[in-house]
Amino acid sequence: MSENAKTAGEPALLVEDLWVEYPARRGVVKAVRGVSFELRRGETLALIGESGSGKTTLGLALVRLLPKAARIKQGRIMYYRNGTSQDVLALNAEQLRRFRWQECAMVFQGAQNALNPVLRIEAQFLDTARAHGMTDAKAVRERAIELLKMVQLDPQRVMHSFPHELSGGMRQRVLIALGLLLQPQVIILDEPTTALDILTQRSVIEVLRRLRTQLDFSLIFISHDLSLAAELADRVATVYAGAIVEIGSVYDIFERPRHPYTLALTRSVPTVTGEMHPLASIPGSPPDLINPPLGCAFHPRCPYATDQCRSQEPRLERVGDDQFAACWHWQEVKP
């Protein structure tokens, strides 16, 4: 706690004007376009956006795990811990290896199917630990058992199972436990509940919620599912066409969205509890990241669009106490 006091107010992670591109046959895919945000110490930040909006690419960039073809055009990614900072884009291979897992661990999209199929769970824990210089097998085993208990799994059974003997939800929880093994201060989860059944999703959500109260780390999760953000996030960022178009506290984003896209998105998802209200539909189709629309990328689908929107790109600006939106006409946007 004293440590926290010393570094209070310092973010865990700071991203500044990050651009990532993939070369493709038709042209250059601009998957991340000028993203800036901070991840505060101990908070849960949700990155919400549709398929292809660049969420995974952004997550991969944060741990420098982008595919070879990808290029980081510009930007800065800084991690802070105990008053020291690390510029991730400047790390060498050895520093990077230490950095992933110990500073920041990422659990990939669809990773339930990515556990090594021929290794028992116990071996996967030991391998990961060894790869990062933890050679005390007994200590690793103890830590693994503790973590598996935290994610509501029965260590006796799970440690000696092969991945295929576990259900999707159990595998997802094993991966979360594995990610926590080296006590990183930041964890990134890409689509942690997608493709899981409702009751299984619920168990993963509850596990994440419990972990947040038991351990001290910051969490970024990436999802196309707004309800997951509503469940778990402290703050939410909406991603559209490779850019963060709005960021704010979960209540602001759901109750007082100021960006037309966030507004439309939150009004287009049906709920089972509560009144039947008509759902808002968003006209048009998702943008082409090779030739994103000029000006505001959302303008072809936006009911508030004006000529200004079609020619000038808006930047994130303060629209509330702790809420930022990239929209020329945010003042007219009424929930």
Partner 1 sequence: MTVNATPIIELDRVSRVFEQRRRQVKAVDAVSLAVQEGEVVCLVGESGCGKTTTGKMIAGLIHPSGGEVRYAGKNIWAMSKDEFRRYRLAVQLIHQDPYASLNPAHTVYGIMSAPLLQHGIVANHKQARERVRDLLRTVDLTPPDDFLDKYPHQLSGGQRQRVSVARALTVSPKVIVADEAVSMVDVSIRVSLLNMLSRLKRDLGVTFIFITHDLAVAKHFAWEGRIAVMYLGRMIEIGRTPQIINHPQHPYTRALLSAIPEADPRITRTKERLQLRSLDIPSLLNIPSGCSFHPRCPLFEAGLCEVSVPPLADVGDGTRVACHVVARERAKEVVA
Ligand X SMILES: Nc1ncnc2c1ncn2[C@@H]1O[C@H](COP(=O)(O)OP(=O)(O)OP(=O)(O)O)[C@@H](O)[C@H]1O
Residues that bind ligand X (CB under 6 A): 22, 24, 29, 31, 49, 51-57, 67, 69, 109, 224, 289
Euclidean distance between CA atoms 193 and 61, whole angstroms: 21
Q: According to the binding rule CB under 5 A, does residue 56 interact with Mg ion?
A: yes
Within 77-136, the residues that bind Mg ion by CB under 5 A are 109
User: b/e string for 291-317 if b means 16 or more Cβ within 10 A?
Assistant: ebbebbbbbebbebbeeebeeebbebe
What is the token pair recorded at 302? 């936006």
Q: Which does 296 bind (CB under 5 to 8 A by kind): Mg ion, ligand X, ligand SF4, none?
A: ligand SF4
Question: What is the H or E stretch that residue 33 is in?
Answer: strand 28-39
Asked if residues 129 and 181 have their Cβ atoms less than 8 Å apart, the reply is yes
Nearer to ligand SF4, 100 or 258 (CB): 258
Within 267-326, the residues that bind ligand SF4 by CB under 6 A are 296, 298-299, 302, 304-305, 309, 314
Q: Which does 24 bind (CB under 5 to 8 A by kind): partner 1, ligand X, Mg ion, none?
A: ligand X
For residues 246 to 275, the per-residue mask of contacts with ligand SF4, x marking binding by CB under 6 A and - elsewhere, is: -------------xx---------------
Q: According to the binding rule CB under 6 A, does residue 99 interact with ligand SF4?
A: no
What is the edge-to-edge ordering of all strands in the sheet holding 235-240?
A: 104-107, 186-190, 218-223, 44-49, 235-240, 243-249, 323-325, 317-320
Question: Least distance in Å: CB of 250 to partner 1?
Answer: 5
Euclidean distance between CA atoms 155 and 140, whole angstroms: 13
Nearer to partner 1, 128 or 223 (CB): 223
Among candidates 184, 189, 233, 244, which has minimal Cα distance to 209? 233
Which stretches of the chain bind ligand SF4, using CB under 6 A?
259-260, 296, 298-299, 302, 304-305, 309, 314, 327-329
